[in-house]
Amino acid sequence: MASISLQKLNKTYGALTVVHDIDLEIGDKEFIILVGPSGCGKSTTLRMIAGLEEISGGDLVIGGEVVNDVPSKDRDIAMVFQNYALYPHMTVYKNMAFGLMLRKAPRDEIDRKVMEAAKILDIEHLLNRKPKALSGGQRQRVALGRAMVRNPEVFLLDEPLSNLDAKLRGTMRAEIAKLHKRLGATFIYVTHDQVEAMTMADRIVVMKDGHIQQVDTPQNLYDRPVNMFVAGFIGAPQMNMMPVTIVRHGEGFAARYEGQDLPLPGNLDQSRIAAYLGQAAVLGVRPENFHEVAPADIPSEALALISAVVELTEPMGSEVHLGLSWAGRPITAKVSPRCKAAEGETLHLLVDMSAAHLFDPKSELSLFSDAPQPRGIAA
Amino acid sequence: MRWLADHYFAEGPGISKDAPKRTGLALVVETMWREGIELMKLNLLFVLACLPVVTVPAAFAALMRVTLTMAEDRNVYLVEDFAGAFRRHFLRATLLGLTSGVMIALPAYAAYTYAGLSVAAPIYTLPLALSVGVVILFSIAGAYAFALLVASEFALGEIARLSLLAALARPGKPLAALGFVAVFWVIHILFYPVTLVMPAIINFAFGTLAIAFGVHETVNRLVRAKEERAGMAEQAMSGA
């Protein structure tokens, strides 16, 4: 049983606080990913869980036991580092066996565990090689194998794929996700790559400046970001944000942007919108919610027609990213590769307002979401 | 220091799973290159273990055990494996070492004598060649014998018989390995005192690894054949 509880966990370096009283509950066998920009405190949080950083305040509870003062080696955790941290003078076998050798495990057991891990990771042919000969992906597998042989309750992975090229990252992402299912251990993974976070996690913890912004499933984070930071951080290209004023629009409401009223359809919480009537708000529209033609599955009353000038086209193969100027504000739209918009041309696009987001410009919180809820285990 | 860090930590080209495994001399060179530091430590260990002199055969058996493992591309726990083999084979290795020593020393002495005589009377060239041949044959048989000793549980008599047969049937690779060993010692003598430390860190371990590569295929085949025969006999017994 390896549930982990961070209770008002805090880390300070002198006068500088890098992790501010964070609360987080991580369930047994859960794959949780800490994501955020550089310096947000995600790696520090992971290192506190690992026991590599002293905890300045709060409690860290693993398996029901407060482990603030328990040495790293006694926490039944294994960590995989970004730079692999393999011993260059040891063979792959010895790198993997080292932890068990230190614990004076019997040789048969070491051999069995190393061979098992090597088989799972498909590195049997590398066992008697030195890390110098291995590629980045192979080194990362060895680092994973070294963690696996200890059979820990908790795996901590600190940006393990950052040093790999894009293709290999994709392969390793899938392998780590499979590994998590196979091992049935708790995984805590740190990354600044939202694709990794979205594709692998049971839940994602978004952090900024040492604070947890939101904890939720990948899809919920994408669909219901609690604030502008999460909305902007999750999704690529990032969400477009426009300053609007909430106005009456027939029976309902609209977001007025540069004199144009964009209807806010009934699927959006009208009571919350009503509270902002006549007030400023921030409208968030994801790039994929711009359409050249009306999609069949979206009611026409939820679509708003806009005109924008094409400033940049980025063909991505399966789609085209358009850099547009909408009433002088730069926005990004994701359209089909068939779109033949030329730079400088004025393009008419339909905005799916049923998928729009509204934020309070001062607090930056979403109008449709309750206050951030960092605690709680996913059902 | 940066070059050192780059040397150690820079990513390598990777090793393809389907890459053909090196064979022959290329495999020997690759293993020596890869295990270089371990071999130097092993050499030192061997020299230390030989200090009491009577322990030389057991130390050589232990050296053979570790290098055979390296030649078979298996993981080695240097000190543990060496010490384990040293203790385990001490008595049998001592007996085998003494026997092999005598078996090689006698024709070697004869060769030395005939070499002296052949200067005055060329007729002695023939027994000289014969003696040298016997020395070489027994040296090869000795290499096989030590490898069989550490790789099997055969009785010493069986080891002597099999190693002589192996030396007669497959002398090529071990002979080349012994030539490799000889090269080390010739280099050591030619460049002395520059090569003063060579025997302490290189000659024995690298030489024995070469011998291990020379004998391990035949030794494994002999051990497997013996095990299969034993298995068949057991089956026949249980059937009867």
Residue A194 vs residues A207, A229, A303, B27, B189: alpha-carbon distances, Å: 12, 13, 29, 45, 65
A125 reaches B (C-beta below 8 A) = yes
Mark yes or no for CB contact B13/A107 under 8 Å. Answer: no
A270 reaches B (C-beta below 8 A) = no
At A301 the pLDDT is 86
Answer yes or no: is pLDDT of A378 > 60.
Answer: no
Residue type, B36: G
pLDDT digits (tens, 9 = 90+) for A225-279: 999 999 999 998 999 999 999 999 988 999 999 999 999 998 888 999 999 999 9
B8 reaches A (C-beta below 8 A) = yes
Mark yes or no for CB contact A125/B17 under 8 Å. Answer: yes
pLDDT digits (tens, 9 = 90+) for B106-141: 999 999 999 999 988 989 999 999 999 999 999 999
Mark yes or no for CB contact B15/A88 under 8 Å. Answer: no
Can you tell me whether residue B111 is helix, strand or coil?
Answer: helix
**Confidence band (pLDDT; 50, 70, 90) for B178?**
very high
pLDDT digits (tens, 9 = 90+) for A120-169: 888 898 998 888 889 888 898 899 899 989 888 899 999 988 877 888 78
Answer yes or no: is pLDDT of A207 > 90.
Answer: yes
The beta-strand segments (E) located in chain A are: 4-13, 16-26, 31-35, 57-62, 65-66, 77-80, 154-158, 186-191, 203-208, 211-216, 240-249, 252-257, 260-264, 280-285, 290-291, 303-315, 320-326, 329-335, 346-352, 357-359
pLDDT digits (tens, 9 = 90+) for A32-79: 999 999 999 999 999 999 999 999 999 999 988 999 999 988 888 999
At A372 the pLDDT is 46
At B132 the pLDDT is 96
Answer yes or no: is pLDDT of B225 > 60.
Answer: yes
Average pLDDT, chain A: 90
Answer yes or no: is pLDDT of B145 > 60.
Answer: yes
The DSSP H or E segment spanning B3 is: helix B2-9
Choose between B238 and A103: higher pLDDT. Answer: A103
CA dist., res. A192 & res. A162, Å (int): 9
At A307 the pLDDT is 94
Tell me the pairing of strands A260-264 and A252-257: antiparallel
**For B11, which of A93, A94, A136 is closest by C-beta distance?**
A136
At A85 the pLDDT is 86
Answer yes or no: is pLDDT of A379 > 80.
Answer: no
At A376 the pLDDT is 39
Residue type, B181: V
Give the other-Cβ count within 10 Å of A112's Cβ: 13
Across B182-198, average pLDDT: 92
Across A85-91, average pLDDT: 88
Average pLDDT, chain B: 91
B73 touches B40 (CB < 8 A): no
Nearest CA in chain A to B6: A132
**Confidence band (pLDDT; 50, 70, 90) for B240?**
low
Residue B133 vs residues B96, B116, B139, B175, B218: alpha-carbon distances, Å: 21, 17, 10, 11, 21
Percentage of residues in chain A having pLDDT higher than 70: 97
**For A138, which of B10, B14, B77 is closest by C-beta distance?**
B14
At A366 the pLDDT is 94
The DSSP H or E segment spanning B2 is: helix B2-9
Q: Is A1 exposed, middle or buried (0-12, 13-18, 19+ CB in 10 A)?
A: exposed
A137 reaches B (C-beta below 8 A) = yes
Dihedrals φ, ψ of A312, to 5°?
-155, 140
Q: What are the tokens at B10?
A: 């820079």
**For B73, which of A107, A128, A134 is closest by C-beta distance?**
A128
B222 touches B62 (CB < 8 A): no
Would you state the torsion angle of the CA atoms of residues B97, B103, B109, B110, taken in this order, to the nearest 10 degrees? -170
pLDDT digits (tens, 9 = 90+) for A354-365: 999 999 999 999
pLDDT digits (tens, 9 = 90+) for B49-100: 999 999 999 999 999 999 999 999 888 889 999 999 999 999 999 999 999 9
Q: State the maximum Cα–Cα separation within chain A, in Å, rounded to a whole number.
A: 78
B30 reaches A (C-beta below 8 A) = no
C-alpha angle with apex A108: B90 to B70, nearest 5 degrees? 60
**For B15, which of A89, A111, A126 is closest by C-beta distance?**
A126
* Among A88, A213, A237, A280, residue whose Cα is nearest residue B4: A88
Answer yes or no: is pLDDT of A86 > 80.
Answer: yes
CA dist., res. A141 & res. A224, Å (int): 35
Across A305-319, average pLDDT: 93
B73 reaches A (C-beta below 8 A) = yes
> Is the whole-model pTM more than 0.80?
no
**Confidence band (pLDDT; 50, 70, 90) for B205?**
very high
CA dist., res. A329 & res. A355, Å (int): 20
B13 reaches A (C-beta below 8 A) = yes
Mark yes or no for CB contact A127/B15 under 8 Å. Answer: no
At B17 the pLDDT is 79
Residue type, A141: R
Nearest CA in chain B to A129: B34
Choose between A97 and B233: higher pLDDT. Answer: A97
At B232 the pLDDT is 82
Across A4-10, average pLDDT: 95
CA distance A357 to chain B (A): 45
**For A132, which of B8, B37, B80 is closest by C-beta distance?**
B8
Residues 6+ apart with CB under 8 A from A223: none
At A374 the pLDDT is 42
Task: Dump the DSSP string for B112-158.
Answer: HHHHHHHHH-GGGHHHHHHHHHHHHHHHHHHHHHHHHHHH----HHH
Strands ordered across the beta sheet of A77-80: A77-80, A154-158, A186-191, A31-35, A203-208, A211-216
CA dist., res. A232 & res. A175, Å (int): 28
